[in-house]
A and B are shown apart, each in its own frame.
Chain A
Amino acid sequence: MHEFSLAIEVVNLAGREAEKNGNRAIREISIEVGDLSGVEADAFESALGLLVRDSILGRAEVKIVRTPGIGNCLACQIDFEMSHRMATCPVCNCFPSEIRGGTEFRVVSLVVD
């Protein structure tokens, strides 16, 4: 259940950014969670929902954007969508030689007053 620790990181990060910007109230926070990031987006959202109540994000709208996993198959020279880490190339059924997307887990932006 590392999603709770990660949610704490988000609240701390938002606090530091708000401070840099003259402690203006945060209206919105946008977070990107990749399907291959190792973060369970639903569990993370629940954890964050519990944590933000009395925090700097107490009145902010939390927007979670999920990005799909993208694998590259060197043999078939194609990119394909991966819904999970074990997804294989739809043409040759091999594991991807490279993961090109979906590992993101980041705060994209804040909207402050």
Chain B
Amino acid sequence: MCETCGCGDSGQFKVFDQNHKHAHHDQEADHVHPHDHSHDHSHPHDHDHRHGTVINLNVDILSENNKLAQLNRRYFAGRKVLCLNLVSSPGSGKTTILEKTIKALIPTRKLAVIEGDQQTFLDADRIEKSGAPAIQINTGSGCHLDARMVELATEKLEIEFGSILFIENVGNLVCPALFDLGESKRVVVISITEGEDKPLKYPYMFQSSDLCLINKSDLLPYVDFDVAKAIGYARSLNPKLEFILVSAKTGEGLDLWYDWLAKQK
């Protein structure tokens, strides 16, 4: 644990200011992380045969993340913020869906976006151009966002009372499934160019989501994607999962998505 800012040694993620001018957590910051020492000299190693004391814990290893996620959840609830965690594989169209959504809803609803990617602030730039405040988290080598990153991002991002906060997670259908961020609902996006068996291949993500947006419906005439089959696979894993077929490109189905958003408390 870094003594100066409380980050994990191996994390090296960065939360950018809204204007992207400097990272909160730059590797060139004025504090340094201790480098690893190799430890290859041998110790005298007397075996101690006294009985040790057993401490029974039964502590969930994700409990620290879960605790922070609960704090985030309470923070959002106190401000009547609807927080949505958007997960998908790379290239499903999450950012385009968000751009369209922001343009459609910004006249009537307060919105904010946290963008997670391994590198670059291209997505936060795109989002800000569409009219909503956005903050970028670069996870560095990390494959998912966690509750601590979201907590740091919310400190920097002005989230107004009653907003919808979209968190665009790192494009990855595996790791983000395990990490609660404090969201109200989890939205998984798949696109019809990915194959209808996605839910079966990544069951954890589909089991932990509340809504599935099936994007790129405009390409249905050109690809062998069976929408009913995809929904059937996903429902067999998670009977409560809702579905909306959309095309971020043509706008088809987006009204249903906006209705869904309006209905969420």
The reply to whether the CB of A113 lies closer than 8 angstroms to some CB of chain B is yes
The reply to whether the CB of B200 lies closer than 8 angstroms to some CB of chain A is yes
- Min distance, Cβ B107 to any Cβ of chain A, angstroms: 39
- Min distance, Cβ B55 to any Cβ of chain A, angstroms: 5
How far is A94 from B63 in the complex, measured between Cα atoms in Å?
32
Known A2-B144, A5-B146, A107-B59: A12·B200 in contact at CB below 8 Å: no
The reply to whether the CB of A101 lies closer than 8 angstroms to some CB of chain B is no
Number of A-B contacts (CB under 8 A): 88
User: Are A112 and B62 neighbours in the complex by a CB distance under 8 Å?
Assistant: no
User: Are B54 and A109 neighbours in the complex by a CB distance under 8 Å?
Assistant: yes
Q: Bin chain A's interface residue count.
A: 20 to 34
How far is A58 from B48 in the complex, measured between Cα atoms in Å?
16
Report B-chain residues with C-beta under 8 Å of the C-beta of A63.
none
Known A2-B178, A8-B10, A38-B177: A27·B60 in contact at CB below 8 Å: no
Report B-chain residues with C-beta under 8 Å of the C-beta of A112.
52-53, 55
The reply to whether the CB of A45 lies closer than 8 angstroms to some CB of chain B is no
The reply to whether the CB of A41 lies closer than 8 angstroms to some CB of chain B is no
Q: Bin chain B's interface residue count.
A: 35 or more
Mark interface residues in B121-145 (1 if CB within 8 Å of A CB, else 0): 0000000000000000000001110
User: Are A13 and B175 neighbours in the complex by a CB distance under 8 Å?
Assistant: no
Give residues of chain B (138-174) contacting chain A, Cβ–Cβ below 8 Å: 142-144, 146, 174
The reply to whether the CB of B265 lies closer than 8 angstroms to some CB of chain A is no
A1, A2, A54, A113: the one within 8 Å of B36 (CB) = A54
Report B-chain residues with C-beta under 8 Å of the C-beta of A110.
54-55, 57
- Min distance, Cβ B151 to any Cβ of chain A, angstroms: 16
Chain B CB within 10 Å, residue with most, of A1, A6, A38, A109: A38
Q: With contacts A1-B175, A105-B60 known, what are 7 further pairs, Cβ within 8 A?
A: A2-B143, A5-B142, A6-B62, A39-B178, A106-B59, A108-B56, A112-B55
